[in-house]
A and B are shown apart, each in its own frame.
Chain A
Amino acid sequence: DGGITQSPKYLFRKEGQNVTLSCEQNLNHDAMYWYRQDPGQGLRLIYYSQIVNDFQKGDIAEGYSVSREKKESFPLTVTSAQKNPTAFYLCASSGRDRTSPYNEQFFGPGTRLTVL
């Protein structure tokens, strides 16, 4: 089955630690995204990548880092510089569609990060 996987589902971090969230897709999509979701709020874009070896900051990139070494993978590192990292993190991808340049995004199941 094609789709997006995120791991782990739950992650606990001590203050001052860096942690890396995994995101893998087998949809052959060029673009991938990371979002943060806080209770009762919509999604906020952290980073996105439209092609391998290239990525751009989103609206709330401070305290986060990413890499895009492979088309299938877009890991997110939450660094100790992120002051309030407890949240639900969602990874998404999108591909090309001849009917529209603004294509829907496909989402993974999410990772819930809790800082202890």
Chain B
Amino acid sequence: AQSVTQLDSHVSVSEGTPVLLRCNYSSSYSPSLFWYVQHPNKGLQLLLKYTSAATLVKGINGFEAEFKKSETSFHLTKPSAHMSDAAEYFCVVSGPYTGGFKTIFGAGTRLFVKA
């Protein structure tokens, strides 16, 4: 069985300070993990993905995430927040499922960035 939990529904940071969005997952097999960003009334855009290569994954716009198998975590970080980072972020797990594969989306974390 697979599941994904985003530990914070809302995160608020000041511009220029670090960002940490937390994600824990559960999977019986080695999954692929993704982070997406969604700005209001827009589609989702892929930030980065982990597919069993390097455990530290670098994405677009200065974001990165580290896959920690022992902690079943895939937290998203950025050293310095910009106002344009204010959006909804989704952690996603994808892996084998009966007859194929299954993709599960987390509930999302809304990031607020204060000037």
The main secondary structure of chain B at its interface with chain A is strand
Give the residues in chain B near A109, CB-CB below 8 Å. Answer: 42-43
Q: For this complex, into which size category does the number of interface residues on chain A fall? A: 20 to 34
**A43 and B90 form a contact (CB under 8 A):** yes
- Indicate whether A107 sits within 8 Å of B53 (C-beta atoms), given known contacts A42-B105, A43-B105, A102-B103: no
**B43 and A110 form a contact (CB under 8 A):** yes
Kindly state the separation between the CA atoms of A43 and B38 in the bound complex, as whole angstroms: 11
**A90 and B53 form a contact (CB under 8 A):** no
- Indicate whether A112 sits within 8 Å of B41 (C-beta atoms), given known contacts A42-B105, A100-B51: yes
- Indicate whether A100 sits within 8 Å of B32 (C-beta atoms), given known contacts A105-B103, A107-B45, A110-B41: yes
Q: How many whole Å from B20's CB to the nearest CB in chain A?
A: 20
| B56 at interface, CB cutoff 8 A | no
Kindly state the separation between the CA atoms of A109 and B105 in the bound complex, as whole angstroms: 18
Among the listed B52, B53, B100, B106, which residue makes an inter-chain contact with A42, where contact means beta carbons less than 8 Å apart? B106
CB under 8 Å from chain B, chain A span 45-62: 45, 50
Contact with A along B30-58 (1 / 0, CB 8 A): 01101010000111111001011100000
Other than the given A40-B9, A105-B44, A107-B36, 17 more pairs (CB < 8 A) read A4-B43, A41-B108, A42-B105, A43-B90, A45-B103, A90-B43, A90-B44, A92-B44, A101-B101, A102-B31, A102-B101, A104-B49, A105-B103, A107-B43, A108-B43, A109-B42, A110-B43
Q: Which A residues have a C-beta under 8 Å from some C-beta of B?
A: 4, 6, 40-43, 45, 50, 88, 90, 92, 99-110, 112
Q: Which B residues have a C-beta under 8 Å from some C-beta of A?
A: 9, 31-32, 34, 36, 41-46, 49, 51-53, 90, 94-95, 100-101, 103, 105-108
